[in-house]
Amino acid sequence: MKKRLLSAILVLLITGSIAACGQTNVATNDNTDSQVETPEKEVVENEPEEEVIDENILYVSNETSAFNSDNIREMANNRYLGKYELFPGSKVPIPDSCVNGLIEYGSSDGNYGYFFGSGEDAKDKEVYLSGVCAYAAVLHSLGLRYELDLDGGFSKIYDGDEQVAVFMVFNTDKEGYYLIMTP
């Protein structure tokens, strides 16, 4: 009988050891005697989202070599508001209503003036080019045609064959790039 009892205890110990090996991770709560299963952690890697460049910015960038760089496209895309207001009685969008970062600097006799930024940004050629690129993208989205002169001459905006506005950009050196527009 002792042999049977020893054999039964040995069988219970062996089966208990085998059962313990197949158990899931268990944590014990110090306040109770209950056991809580802890699930394995799933590792998820977040991939950074690619910035989507507006199709109008891409069109303008591909048409004008001065805008055809990744940096200018990205800056223009960030400045492009995707909305606009027109000058009263005109088909031409008001620059600071559709391009982020332009600073209106007075108007007189039907002329409107804007800086492309403030401080050092106003003096940065890439900031200026990105602003013109974003504005040209708005013109393109409205179906207006433009002829850009990025060397200080007059740029022209057309509705079909009719010239509807002119603007000029020049560098004031001291205060930065300045746009003057006559719609």
- Give the global pTM: 0.72
Res 24: pLDDT: 47
3-state SS assignment for residue 177:
strand
Per-residue pLDDT tens for 121-135? 999 999 999 999 999
Task: State the amino acid at position 100 in one-letter form.
Answer: N
Res 125: pLDDT: 95
Q: Divide the 183 residues of the chain into consecutive groups of 10 and give the mean pLDDT of each group.
A: 49 49 49 58 65 94 96 97 94 96 90 94 95 98 96 95 96 92 95
CB 87 within 8 A of CB 183: yes
Report helix angle 70-79 to 125-141, nearest 10: 60
Q: What are the domain boundaries of the chain?
A: 55-182
CB 76 within 8 A of CB 140: no
Res 39: pLDDT: 61
Task: State the amino acid at position 84 in one-letter form.
Answer: Y
Backbone angles phi, psi at 22, to 5 degrees: -90, 5
3-state helix, strand, coil in the chain (%, to 5): 35, 25, 40
Res 36: pLDDT: 57
Res 34: pLDDT: 54
Distance between CA atoms of residues 7 and 62, nearest Å: 87
